[in-house]
Structure 1
Amino acid sequence: MPPGDTRQRMIETASRLFQRDGYHATSWRGLVEEAQAPWGSIHHHFPGGKEELGVAAIEAGSDAVAAAITYAFASTRTPAGAIERLFSTSAALMEASGYETACPVASVAVASAHESPALTTASRTAFRRWEDELADRLAAGGVPRRRAPALAGHVMTLLEGALVRARVHGSAQPLRDAGSLAADLVRQAAAP
C-alpha cells in the first residue's frame, strides 16, 4: 500500500485492533498512533466517526473472508476438502497471531449488536455474503441446492464458534476438530 493511503491504513489498523482488543476498547488515539496517521485524518476520512470506520473495517474483513473462501475452493478438488482448507487456514492465521485475533467481523458484531444499526447491518451483510458464497460453491460441488444454504450456515456457525474456542484455549485444536466435523457434514450432504 502506498505510504500516502492513510484511509486504507486506518481501516486495516482498525480491523486488527477490533479483532485483538474489541470495538469498544479500541480508542481513536490508539488507532491513530498505531496507523501512524495524522490526528486530523480521523474527521477527514471518517466524518461519521468510529461507527463509519467500524463499517469500513467490517467490509474489509468481509472481503478477506470471501477471499479465503475463494482460495479454499480454488485450491482443492472437493467441497469437503475446501471446507477443511478454510478451517486449517483459519487455524494457521490464529496461531500466527498468538491467539490474539479471531473473525474480523464477529468481534464488532457482538460488541455492537444492540447499539449501532449501521454496524449490525454491515455485520449481517458480511455473514450473508459468506453463507451465500459457501452455499453456491457447495451446490456446485454436489450438495443439493435446497440443502446448501442451511449447510453453509452450519459451516459458518462451526467456524465462528471454533474461532472463539481457539482464542480462549490458546490452541488451534478447536478449529481442526470443527473443520473435520464440517467436512464430514459436507461429504454426507454431497453423497448420492
Structure 2
Amino acid sequence: MKKCIFIIFLVSIFSSCVEKKEIISNEVINKLSEGSYKIPSKFGNLDLFVLSKNQQIIITNADYLNYVYNYHYKSIFKSYNEFLSDVLNHNIQLNTTVFDNIPYKIFKLSKTIENEYKDQTFETFFKKYSKKEDFEKGSYILNISKETSPNEIMTISYYFYLNGYQVVRNDYLPKYLVIKREEIMGIE
C-alpha cells in the first residue's frame, strides 16, 4: 500500500513539473487585449484558433473573442487579458454556442496532416508546407497544391499557429502568406 501511495505521489510531482508550452506570448496577448474593439479592429483579420468542447477547433479573431468575453465570460475572468491567455493557450475549451451570434469557422484536424505533423519535427513540416517568396526578404507562402482541401489548409494553418506563425490570405494574389506572429503584431 505504501508503494502505491509513493508511486502516486511521484507521478503527481512529475506531472506538475511538466511545463505546458505557451502558444501565444504574453506580449501578443497584451497587444490583443489592449485593442480598440470597434469592428473592424486592426486585429480583425488575424486568425486565432480556439479549442471547442466538441473536439473541434474554432477559427475566430480578437474582435469576436472580445464579444464572447463581454457576453459570456466577463463574470468568470478578472480581465479580457486573462480570458485571452487561457483561451489562446488552450487552457480552456469553449462551447460553440457562445459564437451563435457571430461568424466563425469550425473544423476537425485532417488525420493525414495531423499524422505528418506528429511524425516529424516542426522544421521538416514547415519546409514541406511553406516556401520562400521573392517579393520580400524572409517571407514565405503556403506551399499547397490545387487539390489541397480547405480542411487540410486549416489544419496546416493550425499547426503553424501552434508554432508561432500566422497564415494570412493575400488580398492581391491568390496565395497564403506565412508570417511570424510577433512580426505581424509589431513585436521584435
What's the TM-score, normalizing by structure 2?
Answer: 0.24
Using the size of structure 1 for normalisation, the TM-score is 0.24
Q: Which has the higher contact order (CA 8 A, sep 6+)?
A: 1
Q: Quick check: which has more Rg, 1 or 2?
A: 2
Q: Could you say which structure has the higher strand fraction? A: 2
